[in-house]
Amino acid sequence: MAQKVWQAIDKGELASIYLIVGEEQMTHDETIRRIEKKMREKGELEKFTYDLEQVPVEAVVEEADTVPFFSDYKLIIAKNAAFLKAEQKSREKIDHRLGDLEKWLTHPSPTAITIFTAPYEKVDNRKKITKLMKEKATLVEAERLSAQDLVATLLSYASKENVHLSKETAEFFVARVGENLTLLHQELMKLATTVGEGEEITEELIRQFVTRTPEMDVFTLTNAFVQRNVSEAIRIYRDLLANGEEPIMLTALIAGQIRLMLNVATLQRKGLEQQSIAQQLKVHPFRVKLVMQNRQKPTEEQLFRALDAIATVDYQLKTSSMNREQIIELFLMKA
């Protein structure tokens, strides 16, 4: 949905009102950036930003209806439209005159483009104001992107920076950095600057310059544990502790990785391919690929034994007076 709106913006097809809904901040930022860029290409503009958790919405309406003094157009950004969510009486700070907004939505100002942002997982579609906003505004859905969309977006960014990035390398990149689009974009820009225009971003370059996520380290740690490679498992564990990771969080990640290995093994037996397994388990395809291509793939018996052991560790972490770091280290030593 966002891609289609962006294409229209880039063509100069600007709407009077935009509504951006969802938690992916990169989509919010990119939509606003494109609108502002296209407006500035057409001439001078005045830009105003309002926080609707601090300012009533009628102030935005009044600003939009006021003719600009020093330019032809105004760009008005109205952030945090919390009145579109379900009622939260205890957290309400501002009394918005939504009737004023409803009237204005029907006849918006011709000299202003107004962007409302609702950076929430969902809004209350039963509300009259939400229905009207979605009807009158151009809707931009800022949902967390799927693994496939993340890879496609990375390839698009790489193309714009005039650097080469293969689909397989983009998948590796997402698996290493995680599914935060803002962070992915930042890391890609660093790599593009490092290699220069016309050059290729390789997996080796990513390994060299991009910090691994705890999830990737836990994958390696879990493999070492179930294969009874005690020294390797403890080395990775101590590195994670040195980087500030918490034992309880690491326990949850290890348990999640073991369950992923079990689920992949089960679905493989049923004849499912990598992409289908990833879709069914709702995880990134590269994580499934790593499990499937593991040359030292643990048996299901080993995995069930490890899952039972990590459940005991989790209980000890929450109830024992022992040093938390030592509890997990002792667990790893019993591999």
| pLDDT per position as a tens digit, 236-249 | 999 899 888 888 88
Q: Which of 21-30, 59-68, 315-324 has the highest mean pLDDT?
A: 59-68
- Output the pLDDT for position 199: 94
Fold of 214-333: Zinc Finger, Delta Prime; domain 3 (1.20.272)
Q: Is the pLDDT of residue 78 over 70?
A: yes
Which residues make up the CATH 3.40.50.300 domain(s) of the chain? 2-141
Q: How would residue 158 be classed by pLDDT, with cut points 50, 70 and 90?
A: very high
Name the least confident of 136-145, 152-161, 215-224, 295-304.
Answer: 295-304
Kindly report, as residue ranges, where domains of CATH 1.20.272.10 are found in the chain: 214-333
Report the amino acid identity of residue 92: E
Q: What is the largest CA-CA distance in the chain?
A: 74
Q: Which residues does 331 contact at the CB level (< 8 Å), separation at least 6? A: 309, 310, 312, 313
* 31: phi then psi, degrees, rounded to nearest 5: -65, -45
Q: Which CATH architecture best describes the domain 147-209?
A: Orthogonal Bundle (1.10)
- For domain 2-141, the CATH class is alpha beta
Q: Which CB contacts under 8 angstroms, 24+ apart, belong to 286-289?
A: 286/147, 286/171, 286/172, 286/174, 286/175, 287/175, 287/219, 287/260, 288/260, 288/264, 289/171
Token code pair at residue 249 = 């969080």
Are the C-beta atoms of residues 140 and 117 closer than 8 Å to each other?
Answer: no
What pLDDT does residue 203 have?
93
Percent of the chain with pLDDT over 70: 97
Tokens of 152: 């496609």
Number of helices (H), then strands (E), in the chain = 16, 5
Integer CA distances (angstroms), 332 to 35, 216, 237, 329, in order: 53, 18, 9, 5
Mean pLDDT throughout 123-128? 93
- CA distances to 42, 59, 113, 195, 285 from 63, rounded to whole Å, are 21, 6, 11, 46, 47
DSSP code of 84? G
CATH 1.10.8.60 intervals, the chain: 147-209
What's the rounded mean pLDDT across residues 164-183? 86
> Span 47-70, mean pLDDT?
93
More confident site: 301 or 64: 64
Residue 92, pLDDT > 70, answer no
CA-to-CA dists, residue 6 to 26, 67, 89, 185, 293, angstroms? 13, 27, 36, 17, 38
Per-residue model confidence (pLDDT) at position 90: 38
Which of the four pLDDT bands, split at 50, 70 and 90, describes residue 220? confident
